[in-house]
Chain A
Amino acid sequence: MKDLHPHVFAALAGIFGILVLATLVVWLVGRARPSLDLGEMRARIKSWWVMAAAFALALVLTRKISLAFFAFVSFLALKEYLSLIPTRRADRHVLLLAYLSIPIQYLWIGMEWYGMFIVFIPVYVFLLLPMRMVLIGETAGFLRSAGTLHWGLMVTVFSISHVAYLLVLPQRVNPLGGGAALVLYLVFLTQANDVAQFLWGKSLGRHRVVPTVSPNKTWEGLLGGAGTTVLLGLLLARWLTPFNLREAAAATLIIGFGGFIGDIVISALKRDLGIKDSGILLPGHGGILDRIDSLTYTAPLFFHYTYYLHA
């Protein structure tokens, strides 16, 4: 067990409190209106329970377990991505190298080697994979393969690993609760932002933002959701972050709008591939990419914002 600040435990308790409430509401609605089909909603909440439990355990156990958890999330996301996109048989060993970059990237984090963490995938892996492809010698589809593979690594490994790096930031960055509190703040607000945008859009949504990419995304959902996220974030900032109110306002705007962009970027990927969900790993949600889509934008943006101001 790590030596965690009481605020971290309070925040975790809050998350489970929300899940208890959501479970209760769905149960009551199901009883009051038995004709309503709540199967999808029940599956979704059940998946939330599983994800929240895994996330909470990963956060409170040892640091190695926390890093291994995020490495595993990257692995699942990369595997899902590589299973969805066209790949070349000739690239089998290149894909293996891409998978190998996951433990190495998280190893740099464990070593708190910031310089290597920040260049490893954008520079060294970027240079290595095309070299390996060239040595294999298959040129048909080379650009597509090199491009799609590196894009996938940036999204599923590099971006997501920023969540993990928050955990190893020195205590002085966030005297209140340390890195674990920042991770909770980021992940909770990103997911809450998703839910809030969905609920605002469902109830008031009229004007579409990007009709060709995601017809369900509306300005009402985006602004209402981001506004909710800002309010939530301002309330929580003094318990979990080193931010003053003005800094917290900007951080939450980054999460609110960044999360939206991450969401529609993965939507564009799915639309391009002609699929609805990225997978079946999380019943009610779809695949793992469907769940971490927003985080692929909010994690690096929030990390660098925090790093710039307080590290």
Chain B
Amino acid sequence: MNVLASYIQYIVEIFTDPLLLFNMMWATLLGILVGVLPGLTATLGVAILTTLTFGFPAKTAIAMLVGVYIGAIYGGSRTAIVLNIPGTPANAATTVDGFPLARSGNAGFALNVATIMSGIGSIIGAIFIVTLAPLLGKLALQFGSWEFAVLAIFGTIIAGSLTAPKDPLKGWISGFLGLMISLIGLDEITSYPRYTFGNIQLYGGIALLPVLVGVYGIPEILTSLKRVTKPEVALDFSKTAGGLSYWKTIAKNWINIIRSGIVGVFIGVIPGVGEDVASWVSYDLAKRSSKEPEKFGNGSIEGLSAAETANNACVAGAIIPVLTLAVPGSAPAAVLLAALWIHGVRAGPLLPIEHPEMIGNVAAMFTVATLLMVVFGLIITRLFLKILLVPTEILMPIIFVLCIVGTYVLNGRMFDVWIMLLFGLLGYFMRLNDFPAAPFVLGFILGPMADTNIRRALMLSKGSLMPFVTRPISLVLLIAMVLVMISKYIPKKRGAKSE
């Protein structure tokens, strides 16, 4: 089926199925709530909702997860603007200009601009899902074991480089730790139990959800509970839009918006590099090309627009490799990938063959969730901000219970809860020492893919490593990987010499 046809058909289906639309509505609202609450990330939101959607039909569940993902990335902008605390890491760049705007009495205008830009970013993203995903899908069909093996390592390294720009070594360590730990459990080729020590619970390996909830949720809960200082709230809606017009803002910023959207999508496509990187890169590009760079950091509409357009466009970008390569573009996309598996949809190169309508359908889910997000954003998120008046000391114990319950219901066993806590401890330790969590999670997800494909490639070539450099796609990925590593290393050496 044509991607565009399935896209349009599913949009009609959503709007003519009240139950599906209702489920998407509450999921998107839940996502916005998750984003509004500092400490709850989009990853955690998607993970918790995954446990709640076990009983739903696959497409309904995926539509809801897309809704919560988009809602959460957008919702994080609310706290970034009024609290100067990004609700999710994706909104860190939003604080730079959003908070000064809010403090100057333009909170309402800043919140609405962020809503509109997030909506535009998501729509740009949906366009790319329809156009880019089928192309990437065709390319993915040419992938053999060599390419998949290199892609897994490439994704982990690039995620490490981009999520730890000050110290990429820590990003790489984090990624390879994830790759290493993912090998626990029955080996997929020989069924040999690796690192199980006779424990039957470990035979199936460590599930992704406890790892994700642990690495992202527990450190945030502990950090929030131990924090003594309280943030300043800038819920100042005293100024009306006045001379500030939304249409004029869009018209004045259209190049910035389109550029940020495209940058967001392409950064999203890179494995493991999430919305936070996309918004910072777009923010930086907007500042460099602005006629008023001095306004950046002091309430620049351009800066706010760039950050918010890019992070929502990045969501679509992150979903594209999930669908076509089964490689997540970001941490929440990784949970989405796990959710697809749970619901019997095997993402990857075979997806267009097994579920030809799925790419178009996901783009349709994306579009509808975006519309819902914009409507909710413009109408009721100010109400959601009231929740910020609830102290974190009360919210975090509730979130802890949700993390425990969400992990337990996965398999109905306490073992997963203990695994989650163990990874929570590791996540907290890593956060304290500035190790990024994203490459660890990506490594954990890509580990089995790397393992089976490296060995399968070696078996096919009878131990020869030559196909890794003689096959064009594999060679390109290898060169890119080496360049990324070298580019991170050389400037540091030069800097050290100059010091």
Do A and B belong to a common assembly?
Answer: no
User: A residues touching B (Cβ–Cβ < 8 Å)?
Assistant: none
